[in-house]
Amino acid sequence: MAINAIETSRIYARDAPWIGIGVQGVWDHWQDALRAAKLDFEVSPYPAKVEIVDYGKSGQFNSSYYDVVPGVQVNVDNNNRILGCVSSQYGIIQNKNAFSLLQPLLDDGAVITNAGMTEQGLCFMIAQWETTDILGEEWKYNIMCTNSFNSQFPCALIMVPTRIICQNMYRKVLKQNDAMLHIRHMSLAPQRIEEAKLATSKCFTYMDSFNNTIKQLSEGNMSTGDIQYLIEIMFPFPPKHAERYESSKARVLIQREEFIDSYMLAPNISRWRDKPVGFLHAYYDYLSHRGQNKNMPGDWGHRRLSQLVSGDAVNTNVIKEIKNL
């Protein structure tokens, strides 16, 4: 596969993964964004029940009754909308409590620009806080606050630094930089919200750490062999004895070609293409725009945002190898 000889007519288009989901605006208070995005509902747990039907020996209906499913609860909002079927140990964190985590940042000058809920049940708000210069490019720091009621997504504050010129999404870029404050949905979760607000100071210390790491990744060069090695880690071939080996291998080859297109054709990566930071840009660009989980139900844009927040698309081995080059 020739990494330096790619021809394609694919049009390059980017936007932040949350654009087009929910509502956009400028809110100084999370309560206003909560109402605008219709996230101001209350959620209550109910025992999960199943209908037991007796058809008798003749196969004709005799009777039916409902029985409780042990250890399972259904989370329902005040509009009778079912939002999740979870363990009875699951602790509900109301949206009004989850999004209050943004208050310390709003007090420091941040504004909320996006809010909504994906088809997969991810409730989110995006707060823009600050623009800074890293390696001669403008970056803006977005803070994503998330919540859910189906156990698929965390109640969390997630740092999302994005380059203005290409809007690559950087979720879980570098774990040691404390990019996420995470509250588990357990029985004591509501009481821990107030404690978590004090921990939002991590967002501020994260900025310097992220800046320094990006600068480190801008040093040194990557060879064609380095690039090919990383691509093979990102998109490994299945074991030769695996079922449907040929079709799986063909799919991996397509993924590799798509990634190389992203890496070689993006004009905003050109100045860093031979640097580790350039490969990192391309990696997250691919995850944000072409690497969505097609098995996840719902609209493509909703799947993209939900998958990135859940972290399923992030290959931490790739990040480690990039940093070790």
Considering 169, 193, 215, which residue would you say is the last residue of a domain?
215
134 in a domain, yes or no? yes
Range 157-166 average pLDDT: 75
Per-residue pLDDT tens over the stretch 56-78: 777 788 888 888 899 999 999 99
Residues 236, 203 within the same domain: no
Per-residue pLDDT tens over the stretch 112-151: 999 999 999 999 999 998 888 888 888 888 888 999 999 9
Considering 215, 242, 277, which residue would you say is the last residue of a domain?
215
Residues 122, 171 within the same domain: yes
Residues 110, 185 within the same domain: yes
R_g over Cα of the chain: 23
52 in a domain, yes or no? no
User: What is the pLDDT, as a whole number, of residue 127?
Assistant: 93
DSSP codes joined into one string, 111-137: EEEEEEE-TTS-EEEEEEEEEEEETTE
Residues 238, 225 within the same domain: yes
User: What is the pLDDT, as a whole number, of residue 5?
Assistant: 34
74 in a domain, yes or no? no
Backbone angles phi, psi at 25, to 5 degrees: 180, -165
Question: Has residue 31 got a pLDDT over 90?
Answer: yes
The DSSP H or E segment spanning 104 is: helix 103-107
- The answer for residues whose C-beta is within 8 angstroms of residue 244's C-beta and 6 or more apart is none
271 in a domain, yes or no? yes
268 in a domain, yes or no? yes
* Closest alpha carbon to 33 in 100, 91, 88: 100
82 in a domain, yes or no? no
How far are the Cα atoms of 142, 224, 295 from residue 282, in angstroms, in the given order? Answer: 20, 15, 23
Residues 136, 171 within the same domain: yes
106 in a domain, yes or no? yes
Domain that holds residue 190: 23-41+91-215
Question: Has residue 40 got a pLDDT over 90?
Answer: yes
User: Taking the chain, what is the end-to-end CA distance rounded to the nearest angstrom?
Assistant: 22
Indicate the residue type of 172: K
Question: What b/e sequence results for 21-38 when a residue is b if at least 16 CB atoms lie within 10 Å of its CB, and e otherwise?
Answer: bbebeebeebeebbebbe
Question: Measured between alpha carbons, how far is 118 from 19 in angstroms, rounded to an integer?
Answer: 11
Report how many domains make up the chain. Answer: 2
Question: Measured between alpha carbons, how far is 204 from 277 in angstroms, rounded to an integer?
Answer: 22
Question: Has residue 43 got a pLDDT over 80?
Answer: yes
User: Strands 123-134, 137-147: parallel, antiparallel or unpaired by DSSP?
Assistant: antiparallel
Question: What tokens were used for 33?
Answer: 């964004």
Considering 173, 189, 215, which residue would you say is the last residue of a domain?
215
Residues 227, 313 within the same domain: yes
Indicate the residue type of 174: L
DSSP lists the bridge partners of residue 85 as 74
47 in a domain, yes or no? no
Three-point CA angle 50, 56, 57, nearest 5°: 140
- Mean pLDDT (the chain) is 81
Residues 128, 264 within the same domain: no
Residues 114, 232 within the same domain: no
Residues 159, 195 within the same domain: yes
DSSP codes joined into one string, 261-309: HHHHH-GGGGGGTTSHHHHHHHHHHHHHHT---TTS-S-HHHHHHHHHH
Residues 33, 158 within the same domain: yes
User: What is the pLDDT, as a whole number, of residue 76?
Assistant: 97
User: What is the pLDDT, as a whole number, of residue 213?
Assistant: 80
Question: Measured between alpha carbons, how far is 137 from 325 in angstroms, rounded to an integer?
Answer: 23
Residues 36, 176 within the same domain: yes
Residues 282, 318 within the same domain: yes
